[in-house]
Amino acid sequence: MRRWLSMTVLMVGLVVLRVHAQDVGPGRRPNQSVAQQLGFHADERLLIIHADDAGMCHAVNLGTIEATSKGIVNSASVMTPCAWFPEMAAYCRDHPQLDMGVHATLTSEWKYYRWRPVSPHDKVPGLLDSEGFLWRDVKGAAQSGRPEEVEQELRSQVQRALAFGIKPTHLDTHMGTVFSRPDFFQAYRKVANEFKLPYLLPRLALDRLEKMNPAIRATAVGLQRLMESSGEFTLDDLVSIEGDVPPGDQKRFYLDAIRRLRPGITQIIIHVGIESPELTATTSMHARRDMDRQVFMDPEVKQVIEAEKVRLITWREIGERQRRFLKLHGGPSTTPAASPGEAKLPPGPEHEKGVIKASQIRPMKSESDPRLAALLKRYEEPVGDVPWSMARISTMPSYDVYDLQFPSPVITATPENNTVWCEYYCCRGEAKRQAVIVLHILDGRFRESRLICHYLAARGIDCVMLKMAYYGPRRPKDPERVRAFTQDIDTVCEAVRQSAMDARRAARWLESRPCVNASRISILGTSLGGFVGSVASGVDGRFAHSILILTGGDLPAVLTTNEKEVAAARRAFEASGMTREGLVRKLELVEPLTFAGRIDGKTVLMVNTREDPIVPPTSARALAKAIGGVRHLWYPGDHYAIIYRVFEILDRVAMYLTESPQAESRSGGM
């Protein structure tokens, strides 16, 4: 667990609670702390001292047993995939009063001591690294794993604990991996509810939020208002020691934390072990683990807890009080239980395929300027039927997610690049609804675009997240060819043209969907995706809305800055010996300013930052001026500071997409 946990909970929580927030029921008062909602007094200071990683190895098991039986550690959680799990399970069977949860384990971080998933490996291939173990870090798991694999594995881990005779009191997370993606969090929450387990989800105190960036604070306040009604917060605060505290200062750190405890429920997370050759060979953190054990067996720590009138509670008590005061589940169940929401909303089909008929064309907006008309011919789609197929990869409470494939209208020398891969976020229901094509940023991990899609789909808007040319499964298998592409201006231009044409074909596919309102198909792009989106919008001329985030015009100015994001293109330009005038001519086909005049400004929302060195404000203003009449939102900070306002921006985007045409015509620019 690291200090970014609470921030990440904020990032996923707003998406999740847009879907799952329930009506306020008996005893649920938004102005109360978690402790108060669970029936504790407002001024009580309640503490869980929690040992993570039981079952990891023999030394950790011995440390956990000693700290819980002879010390003041009153809760723990077990890693069921690990080799020494059976030893810890035997102890739990003999000591059923022990407050033991399941430590949701999706990573295997140590150098030589590794573990594999509990589930059959062919069921969770995305959770395995190249060596066949769980990924070493959260990043690897988040990039490769799929939500249905996470759900499968977490369910298997809880079932294994039950099979070994453990009656788990709660579910929490190893290294915070379940908080790395909104759909991972959805899986974590779903499994916890299936087995009727309270799960780790801290509520952030508002006075602590005051120390955050104002944008984060605004997001957090809005999130907490939504989450209060669910009753599923389990902690008011969370304390975890960081690596910059040396072992000799651990006791002082924990004593200070105990003395500073505020009213409500706080959990202190520790990692215990007994110094030994095994622990030393297993982990570089062996001294810190041994010291954690010693600290919480020290009589002075117990005396401070008593002197401070801090009350120790357990996860078992949280579960019981959730059931009593909030009418939620309480103790564990051996059989999964489907939620009422899922019973009312059956998932969509597993597979679907079809053909977009040649007669189902999507004509471009007409053009009288001969120069533009000639350029637009380069974007004309070949005539013919277009086969497509999709397979479901995830089920959410109100929408399903599919892998969608269709052939690109552009055929390149790279076979992998000739198939367009998308993720289709399909809302349930028969009523016609609007849809958005979402284009991703430069790094190609698709995290921000998936976040956008989950958010909008939870608001009832279908989304197609399109993986642009040479990204994801469209990348050549030869890394040398990838490097060559990034250093060739002609290939970069062709990739932008192809991606814009792919976006138009995705719009044509959406038009063929019986559940989509063909007149309400929009496009949204961020950073690189925004540049491609602005070109696609200008070429097409028929998108209901165009949301362009961190986007501008004047590509030569952008590509010749000193920023690392455009370093490859800048080097290619410099190595070519091309003049700036030559670069302008070469980029004309993919320059947003070229087609800006074809876009109706009343349908455009632009979002930029005032200190952006990658897309300078002059570039953003140039595009806004060329389009004319856009709604333009400006935020403080650089290119990446916009993450602090992500949910505020997504709220604005959702409102912009759903407001009436009359409201659009009145709004004008900003």
Residue-wise pLDDT tens digits, 348-391: 678 999 999 999 999 999 999 999 999 999 999 999 999 999 99
Give the pTM.
0.56
End-to-end CA distance of the chain: 42
- CA 193 – CA 119 distance, rounded (Å): 20
DSSP labels, 613-648 = SSS-HHHHHHHHHHH-S-EEEEESS-TTGGGGGHHH
- The answer to which of 156-170, 240-254, 572-586, 642-656 has the lowest mean pLDDT is 572-586
477 burial (CB, 10 Å; 0-12 / 13-18 / 19+) is: exposed
Residue-wise pLDDT tens digits, 239-278: 998 767 888 899 999 999 999 999 999 999 999 999 999 9
Residue-wise pLDDT tens digits, 193-232: 999 999 998 876 655 556 555 544 554 455 556 556 677 8
Query: What's the CA dihedral at 542, 543, 544, 550 to 10 degrees?
Result: -140
Cβ proximity of 310 and 258 under 8 Å: yes
Question: What's the topology of domain 5-17+28-335?
Answer: TIM Barrel (3.20.20)
pLDDT at 13 over 60: no
CATH class of 351-667: alpha beta
pLDDT at 158 over 50: yes
* Structural domain boundaries in the chain: 5-17+28-335, 351-667
Residue-wise pLDDT tens digits, 299-311: 999 999 999 999 9
261, 417, 231, 237: which is closest to 330 by C-alpha?
Answer: 231
Helix (H, G, I), strand (E, B) or coil at 213: coil
Angle formed by the axes of helices 528-540 and 489-511, nearest 10°: 60
- CA 307 – CA 654 distance, rounded (Å): 52
